[in-house]
Structure 1
Amino acid sequence: MTKKIIIAGPRGKMGAEAVQMVDKEPSYDLIACIDRKNGGKSIKDIQDTNGLPALDVPIFENPETCFQEMDADVFVDLTVPGAGFEHTKLALLYGIRPVVGTSGFSDDQLAALQDLSMTHGTGCIIAPNFAVGAVLMMQFAKTAAKYLPDVEIIEKHHDQKLDAPSGTAVKTAAMMQENRENKQQGHPDEKETLDGARGAETDGIHIHSVRLPGLVAHQEVLFGSPGQGLTIKHDSYNRASFMEGVKLCIRKVEDLDRLVYGLENILD
């Protein structure tokens, strides 16, 4: 059965990759896009943006109008936190199942979306990272934290990313905290001679964010213990690495009646 899909953010690098993926997938039908700059146009009108295919697919500037007029099964959001939150709320209100790759939502925003999803019985998946390898990296780190509690995270992304630390880093730390008690790391008299030198800190886990052109999405989880070290690392070299995860979420979200946060929660 063909799944009718709306994508928000087609001009972005992730959004453009998703448009191409949906166009190539025989069981998917891209019926509309949401973009704040190109309302009233179609994908073929902006096809030069990131190599989009020449599709006669309408673009809506107003997401509510899009959800009212288009009979969609799944909504894929690959925008920014502020817009992504509002888009996801509206999709749930209109009974369209969201698959959200936008990171940077606050705990209050996630709680509000969880309540809305349960109230309407509409499935929703929010994935800080769609790369299956990244999800495995997080799960391995969770296991390792039980035995090696001294740990720091270095996450590296392109210089256009708006949130720091990344949603993947925050999710990794939260998963490790399930197996690790709060532990303050480093020397008790440690002082930063430059503010921020030790990065952000949660439950004693330091998180360091790198933003540079040429990067895509990379993370290292470094564990230390007397006489040994363990590094768990994942690299996404291009955005095609995320598309299998997007397809998995599109397939799984129709079986859900609540919000699921994290790709690891739908892996078989």
Structure 2
Amino acid sequence: MPLPPPMPRLIVEPAVRRALEEDLGRAGDITTDYVVPEATRAQARIAARQAGVVSGLDAARSAFRLVDPDLMIGVERHDGDVVSPGDTICHLDGKARSILTGERVALNFMGHMSGIATATRTMAQLIAHARARVTCTRKTTPGLRAFEKHAVRCGGGANHRFGLDDGLLIKDNHIAVAGGIVAAIEAARAQAGHMVKIECEVDTLEQLAQALDAGVEAVLLDNMPPATLAQAVAMNAGRATLEASGGINADTIVGVAESGVDLISVGWLTHSAPSLDLGLDIDFGD
């Protein structure tokens, strides 16, 4: 998949500003302010400590620029680039105080997002031979959904809906309350705009048949083994987009992909992917 464009500044800056305000607290960076003379300048670089995929450069740059607009930031690797241990991602030149104060927030965003991008790339590469694409879910860190979904795209994955207003996904509890799959789909279709797709979750092939007969555009196949997924693909015969979901990991994703489904949603990419180990190395200048 093509790499995503940079994140809009209007999305990035408010979240980064909140993180800086949380870190600076009521008195600012007292350690740096007490220890480092104001006039001291330094050069620094953010480097990879382990192999992975870069994501979060927009957030890191925003952190440093909010602290000090005069900091010079040079980018050597971009979002979506693969890095090895020791590779420089970006370098900084300016007041030492500014670099040290912005360091942790910048690394927090970049490490978290690069970890998600790296995990996504791993899963995507495992199924590169199949038609299926890896996609994320709404199981995201509150306040960081746009960042985490951007990181998934940096890793070669696709995005599921961004929020409850982004598409209709009729799940098991909706079905229970509405009185059945057909009733839920018909109620949704009666009010949905022409640009809004309807997806329905099913647990069995019998439910799949009901959803397809009701003309749903996409079906979420929940917790089905690969053999059942293959049957679902045959039943579908290309009528709807099929998404497999439920506890999928690196050990099981190949079998799921080879069933012929279109999408494989993996919730842990955004809520549990380990952070990529990055570090900031500083050198004193004039």
The answer, yes or no, to whether TM exceeds 0.5 is no
Give 1 or 2: higher strand fraction. Answer: 1
Task: Please tell me whether Structure 1 or Structure 2 has the larger radius of gyration of its CA atoms.
Answer: 2
Give the structure-1-normalised TM-score: 0.28
Higher helix share: 2
Structure number with greater CO (CA < 8 Å, separation at least 6) is 2
